[in-house]
Amino acid sequence: MSSLRERSVPSIDLGGEAAQVAKAIDRACREIGFLVVGNHGVPQATIDAAFDAGRGFFRLPLEEKLRSCAPDGRIRGYLAPGGQALARSRGDESPPDLLERFRMGRFDVPDDAYHRERAARWFVPNIWPGSPPGFADALKRYFSAMEALSGRLMRLFALALELPPGFFGGKIDRHISNMYVNYYPAQPSPPRPGQLRAGAHTDYGSLTILAPTDAPAGLQVQDTAGTWHDVAPLPGAFVVNLGDLMAQWTNDRWVSTMHRVVNPPRAAAGTDRIALVFFHQPNDDALIECLPSCCVDSPPKYAPVTSGEHQASKLRRTFEKNAP
Ligand code: OGA
Ligand code: NI
C-alpha cells in the first residue's frame, strides 16, 4: 500500500494558464480519475464554517439527530447509522456502512415547470435541524461555493476534451446535485467482517468535490491493476473525482475510479472523521451520450441515458428504503 501523494498525485493549480491546466486535467482523468485541486478560490472561512456546522450537528444526541430524518425517504436530512451500503450501488452484497450522513440539495430554485413538476423529485425541500445555530447558513454558503467551483471545473473539462468551453453549460444550468456531510464515528467495538466506513463504489454523477480535511487517512482509490492506494489529505486542497456519467460521456477515455473509506486501525479506533462531499449531477434531462470528441476512433460503448434516470437507478440500489 503506498500513498498516491508519494506516487505523483495529479495536482492541479486552478490559477494556472487554462490550456495547461486543461492538459493536466486530461492526463489525470485518463490515468486515475482523481485530482487534487489547489488555488481554488473558495475562502477557508467558508470551508471551516461548514465543517464546524457538521461537527456540531453530529455531536448531538442520537434522539435529537433523528428529528431531522426525512419522514418520507427523500434524500434530505439525517440518515442514521445502518441505513446505507455504498457497495450495493454496484450490486454487491454488503453489511451497512459505518457512517451517518446529513444530506442537502438545492435550496434556491425557481418556481417553474422543470423545478416544480418534471424534475421535482430532485428539488424536494431540505430538512434543517434547529441546532447547532447557523447550521443551514453555513452549509448553504458552502454548497453555493461548490456550485461555482463545479461550473468552473466543467468548463475546464470541456477544454480538456477538445470541446468549446461552454459545451456543458446548457447541460448543468439546472443541475440536480446533492451534498452530503459524512460522519464516520469512532469504532469502540470492531466492525463486522467486510464492514467498512464506506464500501467500495464509484460515484454516480459528473464530478465529486471532497473538502480539504486533515483527518486521519481513510479514503482509498483503486488503480487499474486493482491495488488500493491511500489518498493523503493535502492541506487546503480539494480532492475531485469523476463519476460514472463522465466515464460514459467520454466513452471511457476518462475513468470513474473505485474508492472506499477504510476503518481506522484498532490503535486509532477512538478517532472519528467528517467529510463534506458535493456530488455534481447534470440537469435531470441532460442526455449523456458519447461526446463528439470521444467516439472518433471507437464506437459508443454506452446506451444514452438521462442524468436523472441514471441517478435514480443508482440511488434505488444503495438505499434500503424508498428512493426517488
Ligand atoms: C462518498 C465518498 C468519501 C469520504 O460519499 O461517495 O466516497 O471521504 N466519500 O467520505
Ligand atoms: Ni464516493
Give per-residue pLDDT as tens, 47-66: 999 999 999 999 999 999 99
Between CA 32 and CA 213 the distance in angstroms is 21
| Helix H or strand E segment including 209 | strand 207-210
Beta bridge partners of 8: none
* Three-state DSSP state, 287: strand
Ligand 1 pocket, residue 182 CB under 6 Å: yes
Sign of the alpha-carbon torsion through 193, 318, 107, 172: positive
Give per-residue pLDDT as tens, 225-250: 889 988 877 889 999 999 999 999 99
Q: Which ligand 1 atom minimizes the distance to the CA of 99?
A: 10
Domain boundaries 4-318, corresponding CATH code: 2.60.120.330
Give per-residue pLDDT as tens, 256-290: 999 999 999 999 999 999 999 999 999 999 999 99
Ligand 1 pocket, residue 277 CB under 6 Å: yes
Q: Which one of the ligands is nearest to 318 CA?
A: 1
Question: pLDDT: is 106 or 193 the higher one?
Answer: 106
CB contact at 8 A, 183 and 101: yes
Cα of 324 vs centre of ligand 1, distance in Å, is: 21
Cα of 97 vs centre of ligand 1, distance in Å, is: 11
Q: Which one of the ligands is nearest to 217 CA?
A: 1
C-alpha cell read off for 265:
486501525
Cα of 59 vs centre of ligand 2, distance in Å, is: 23
Confidence class for position 1, pLDDT limits 50, 70, 90: very low
